[in-house]
Amino acid sequence: MGRAGSTRRTFVAGAGATAGAVAAGSVAALGKAQTATAAPGAEARHAADSVAVLGGGVAGLTAAHELAERGFAVTVYERRALGGKARSMGVPDSAKGGRRPLPAEHGFRFIPGIYHNLPDTMRRTPFPGNANGVWDNLVAPKEMMMARTGYEDLRIPLPWPGHQPAQLTLDDIRRALRGLLDAAKGLPAHEVAYFVNRAVVFLTSCDERRDRQWEATPWWDFVRAERMSHTYQRLLAVGVTRNIVATKAEEASTRTVGTLGEAFVFNALGRGADGPPDRILNAPTNEAWIDPWVTHLRSLGVEFKVGWSVRELRYGDGRITSVSIEDPDGVRRNVTADHYVQAMPVEHARPTWSAELKAADPQLARCDKLETDWMTGIQFYLTERTPILHGHLNCVDSPWSLTAIAQATHWPGRDFPADYGDGTVRDCLSVDISEWDKPGMLYGKTAKKCTREEVAREVWAQLKAALNDTGKNVLRDSVLHSWFLDPGVDGIGTPNPTNEDELLIHPVGTLHHRPTAKTKIPNLFLSGDYVAVDIDLATMEGANASAREAVNALLDQVGSSAPRCAVIPLFRAPELESFKRHDRLRFRLGLRNLFDLG
């Protein structure tokens, strides 16, 4: 969503790059020198302290990493597969002739330059031949595209120091100019000016106004979408929310959408960036990142128990006394440790909390108000390379809010037909479906009401409608080899569809329901993308930062002298701080922001 986190935030990245251009010159990564590592002797100090990490996704692996470096005895319990929603997987029965299975995933990984904590962990994860560990496996796409059905697609370059621009034909240049003119024609000047004003209002708003007024204001209302043109609504209201935060513009918190947009704009301007606005891995996620990470954690002494499902946190005498966990054979076991870091998605954590536990810490009860929605990936395997673009694709007008990327061109170290599948597949088009409750084009049904086969056919049709609508035959049925839909989705096409991997969404008020990493139970700490951290979005960065917060809270609880984990916040432009101080006074006086024209 990296994506996702998820996850999938390419629209804002492109908008930031377009609005701000990209400052020339190199940009030093923020916070590299702030990383804290375990002090000598930490192992001896904490040899008797055991920690059960409940969950083996990005949050759980990060917590295990930080704890193991500080000498704790760590065991990770994961119900399904290490890496969680971030992992890649093989398509069953697809490997032939000694090749690996076709690579699949819950959704494509996206690790933008606004992230700092996750890249720090990646630098500290060794990878053979890489001076900067797994971090060196990040590559930056050269462009992105907003595909408008019935309009020329808008192709946006993403320049960055050291980047080689994408090669363009004369036809590409002609289409790019038409796309820009179509966008300009569809967006009246007064609407552009108004949206820019709204951006200025948010940029100069103080934290109090953001946390109270803008957290309570839907993005749709903030940008006055109801009064604007269809193009404005699709690009600047619906596109920013449904395709990126997997929530509806009519409901999404302005604080969440604005905070993310602000971060991407400064990233595109080269301010406070770890790297380019758009980065992906140069191989399937497990090959480039998760497997080397797990190998490194094993070398630090971390023990993994995969296939173990947490059922209940047992509470008594003011503490967690044990955890009831079902092992791979279906046998319930009581697991005990000195400390517990619960690193599970909120929808899986909530059923493990008893009424007594939630009464002991009311912030756990408030988590019942957090909302999740479906954002799930499907991969199409093609017998030819796709001539779409070198980067992410946003199908702005697609009924199911599709975003996608053709992966083979970004994996230079992989010979796709030689390495994967049966030798005939040359590319993987990885697609995220963000809208599961709106009727599609072919069957007039929502994605949840379609069978798996109908979902695949519908998504393929929506992709072709977005890409083949202006005379360029980008996708052809004859090159489609096969497809793979995330196995976490089950029962679609029946009255009771389920999704094992839902995504936290951000309707108004969500901020005030998110818990902190430290709980009122002295041996329980929370980690996950729903925990309150600086990046107000369900992302891998949020999962990583929350794990660092949880470890720091644990260290404080035991009075450890080990160095605390660095938790690097989002960049704040110093030149805006005076405006925010002025706005704080206006907010406390009950006045609107100085630039707010209403």
The three state secondary structure string of 198-263 is HHHHHHCCCHHHHHHHHCCCEHHHHCCHHHCCHHHHHHHHHHHHHCCCCCCCCCEEHHHHHHHHHH
What pLDDT is attached to residue 138? 97
pLDDT at 164 over 70: no
Hey, what are 320's tokens? 């967690």
Instruction: Note the pLDDT tens digit of each residue in 411-424.
Output: 999 999 999 999 99
Compute CA distances 105 → 108, 272, 500, whole Å: 7, 30, 14
Taking residues 340-346, report their average pLDDT: 98
Q: Which residues pair with 437 in a beta bridge?
A: none
What pLDDT is attached to residue 179? 55
Residue 64 within any structural domain of the chain: yes
pLDDT at 46 over 60: no
Residue 108 within any structural domain of the chain: no
What pLDDT is attached to residue 390? 86
Q: How confident is the model at residue 48 (pLDDT cuts 50, 70, 90)?
A: low
Instruction: Note the pLDDT tens digit of each residue in 218-230.
Output: 999 999 999 999 8
Q: How confident is the model at residue 9 (pLDDT cuts 50, 70, 90)?
A: very low
pTM, entire model: 0.90
Q: Which of 107-111, 176-180, 554-558 has the lowest mean pLDDT?
A: 176-180
pLDDT at 168 over 80: no
- The bridge status of strand 427-433 relative to strand 280-281 is unpaired
Q: What share of the chain is helix, strand, coil (3-state, %, to 5)?
A: 35, 20, 45
Q: How confident is the model at residue 67 (pLDDT cuts 50, 70, 90)?
A: very high
Q: Which of 175-189, 373-387, 478-492 has the lowest mean pLDDT?
A: 175-189
Answer yes or no: are the C-beta atoms of 138 and 130 closer than 8 Å: no
Give the helix/strand (H/E) hosting 88: strand 88-90
Identify the residue with better confidence: 44 or 290: 290
Residue 573 within any structural domain of the chain: no
Hey, what are 577's tokens? 């701080």
Identify the residue with better confidence: 33 or 62: 62
Instruction: Note the pLDDT tens digit of each residue in 492-549.
Output: 999 999 999 999 999 999 999 999 999 999 999 999 999 999 998 889 999 999 999 9
- Quote the CA–CA distance of 347 and 488 in Å, as a whole number: 14
Residue 123 within any structural domain of the chain: yes
Instruction: Note the pLDDT tens digit of each residue in 23-45.
Output: 333 333 333 333 444 444 444 44
E-strand stretches of 397-485? 402-406, 427-433, 480-485
> Percentage of the chain surpassing pLDDT 90?
72
Q: Which of 119-133, 147-161, 187-201 has the lowest mean pLDDT?
A: 147-161
Residue 553 within any structural domain of the chain: yes
What pLDDT is attached to residue 264? 87
Q: How confident is the model at residue 328 (pLDDT cuts 50, 70, 90)?
A: very high
Q: Which residues contact 403 (CB under 8 A, 6 or more apart)?
A: 8, 10, 11, 243, 392, 393, 394, 395, 431, 432, 434
CATH number at residue 314: 3.50.50.60
Nearest to 356 by CA among 516, 520, 528: 520
What pLDDT is attached to residue 211? 97
Task: Give phi and psi for 490, each to the nearest 5.
Answer: -140, 150
Hey, what are 123's tokens? 């630098």
Taking residues 250-258, report their average pLDDT: 90
What pLDDT is attached to residue 175? 56
Hey, what are 229's tokens? 């043109």
Mean pLDDT of the chain: 88
Give the helix/strand (H/E) hosting 177: helix 170-186
Q: How confident is the model at residue 469 (pLDDT cuts 50, 70, 90)?
A: confident
Q: Which residues pair with 313 in a beta bridge?
A: 323
Task: Rounding to the nearest 10 degrees, give the CA dihedral for residues 94, 497, 436, 14.
Answer: -50
What pLDDT is attached to residue 250? 82
Give the helix/strand (H/E) hosting 105: strand 103-105
Handedness of CA 412, 417, 420, 424 (dihedral sign): positive
Handedness of CA 551, 557, 563, 567 (dihedral sign): positive
The C-alpha angle with vertex 103 and arms to 430 and 489, in degrees rounded to 5, equals 65
Taking residues 482-490, report their average pLDDT: 97
- The bridge status of strand 88-90 relative to strand 332-335 is unpaired
> Percentage of the chain surpassing pLDDT 70?
86
Answer yes or no: are the C-beta atoms of 127 and 134 closer than 8 Å: yes
- Quote the CA–CA distance of 595 and 170 in Å, as a whole number: 43
The domain containing residue 45 runs over which residues? Answer: 36-99+119-133+283-371+511-558
What pLDDT is attached to residue 536? 83
Q: Please count the other Cβ atoms lying within 10 Å of the Cβ belonging to residue 293.
A: 25
- Quote the CA–CA distance of 217 and 196 in Å, as a whole number: 18
Residue 213 within any structural domain of the chain: no
Q: How confident is the model at residue 167 (pLDDT cuts 50, 70, 90)?
A: low
Taking residues 395-420, report their average pLDDT: 94
What pLDDT is attached to residue 363? 97
Residue 289 within any structural domain of the chain: yes
Q: Which of 27-41, 80-94, 336-350 has the lowest mean pLDDT?
A: 27-41
Instruction: Note the pLDDT tens digit of each residue in 537-561.
Output: 889 999 999 999 999 999 999 999 9
Instruction: Note the pLDDT tens digit of each residue in 98-107.
Output: 999 999 999 9
Taking residues 157-179, report their average pLDDT: 62
What pLDDT is attached to residue 337? 98
- Name the burial class of residue 261, with classes exposed (0-12), middle (13-18) and buried (19+) by CB atoms within 10 angstroms of its CB: buried
What pLDDT is attached to residue 189? 86
Count how many domains the chain has: 1
Q: How confident is the model at residue 173 (pLDDT cuts 50, 70, 90)?
A: low
pLDDT at 69 over 70: yes
Residue 466 within any structural domain of the chain: no
Q: Please count the other Cβ atoms lying within 10 Å of the Cβ belonging to residue 161.
A: 12
What pLDDT is attached to residue 163? 63
